[in-house]
Structure formats: C-alpha cells, structure tokens
Chains A and B, each alone.
Chain A
Amino acid sequence: QKEVEQNSGPLSVPEGAIASLNCTYSDRGSQSFFWYRQYSGKSPELIMFIYSNGDKEDGRFTAQLNKASQYVSLLIRDSQPSDSATYLCAVNLYNTDKLIFGTGTRLQVFP
C-alpha cells in the first residue's frame, strides 16, 4: 500500500463547476497535510495546508481533513481553465519534517 494515494485522473469538470480532489494516506502518525498545484514543466506551488479535522477555506479553495477515515480532500469552487494542472497531496509525518507526496491528480477544466 502506498503511503499517499491519489487518483491519477484526469478529472474533467466544466468551467464554473466544483472540482473535488481526494487523497488517502496510510500512516495514522501523519500530522499535517498539504495541497500543491503543479503546471506542466513547472515546480509545485503550495495552495494550502491543514492539520485539524474539519474544513479550512482560502478563497475558492477548501481543504477537508478526516483523520479517522485517513483522507484529505481539496474542493475548488468556480473552477477556471487556469486551474487545469496536476494537484499533489503531501503528508508530513509526526516524527519528521519531510513531505511524502502522492502521484497527483490531473485536473482539466474545460470552457
């Protein structure tokens, strides 16, 4: 079992819709959870992080964390074609500062 799992996609949504990206993790010692956006050929860009159960909102983005079920999700409201990218989920374990990444979900927002 991979430590961090994401559906590779592509996830296709129309412009203006809500995109829902999911991530599951295997280690219950995971402490913090991060979402990065990566455009093709570019480096990852931090969108937001969450470490408490529940929802955290930042503009059009909402991160949701459920530690009991070991999943974290990212909702993108009012999706735009410029949101088309690969979204990486990363997990920070309790006893280390390294991030463990999933393989990413490719999102396509079509006009």
Chain B
Amino acid sequence: DTGVSQDPRHKITKRGQNVTFRCDPISEHNRLYWYRQTLGQGPEFLTYFQNEAQLEKSRLLSDRFSAERPKGSFSTLEIQRTEQGDSAMYLCASSLVAGSGNEQFFGPGTRLTVL
C-alpha cells in the first residue's frame, strides 16, 4: 500500500495525558498536512510542512499542540495535557507540489477520545 498511513488508528486517553500520533506520507510527496475533524464538520487545518520546514500553523493550534517532521519524511503530532475538547479525528494528508493542483491525499485518520 503506497498511500498515507497513520498510527494509531484509535486512541483513548484520560484527560491530562499526553498523546502522540504518527503520519507517514506518500513516499515522493514533499508536503504534509495535519487537519482535525469533529462530527458534522469538515476538516479544519492545523499545520503543514514542506520537507522538514513547518510553513504554517493555524491559530486553532494552542501551545499544547506541537508537530514535527524531523527528516522531511514522517511527521508526529503531539498533544500535551489533553482536554475533552481535543476529542476528534486527526487527519494527515500529503501532496506533491507540482503545477496548480496541490491535490492532497488523506490517510485513514487517528480517532482520539479523551475521557
């Protein structure tokens, strides 16, 4: 399978705990994006990388959230001191910047439940 992969697929944690998610993009893609989706809403942008550089962060991304892409390949998203409002599907997408399409392909997502 050469698509975007995410791990874990599901995570249940208690409020106040830290969690970390991993995303592996499509191998030749140099851009990687994180989105968050709650029930009945479209995905909301969180942050994105071109290679290892983090180019943009949403104002939604509080200082409890941090993302890295250390070698320009996989990325991690960490949430510290989780809150119940962090419960959502966390989606990773990747794209190859070529032309004006910027087609983003999503992974299966990590569903986070904070108790």
Which A residues lie at the B interface, using CB under 8 A?
4, 8, 31-32, 34, 36, 42-46, 49, 51, 88, 90, 92, 96-104
- A32 & B102 in contact (Cβ 8 Å cutoff): yes
Partner of A44, one of B41, B43, B44: B43
- A49 & B42 in contact (Cβ 8 Å cutoff): no
Task: Count how many pairs of residues, one from A and one from B, have CB atoms less than 8 Å apart in the complex.
Answer: 61
The 4 closest A-B pairs by CB, nearest first: A101-B42, A98-B45, A43-B106, A43-B109
CB distance from A90 to the nearest CB of B (A): 7
- A101 & B43 in contact (Cβ 8 Å cutoff): yes
Which B residues lie at the A interface, using CB under 8 A?
31, 33, 35, 40-45, 48, 55-56, 58, 89, 91, 95, 97, 100-109
CB distance from B112 to the nearest CB of A (A): 14
- A31 & B100 in contact (Cβ 8 Å cutoff): yes
- B102 & A46 in contact (Cβ 8 Å cutoff): no
Of listed B43, B45, B91, B97, residue having the most chain A CB within 10 A: B43
Which residue of the partner chain B has the closest CB to A6?
Answer: B42
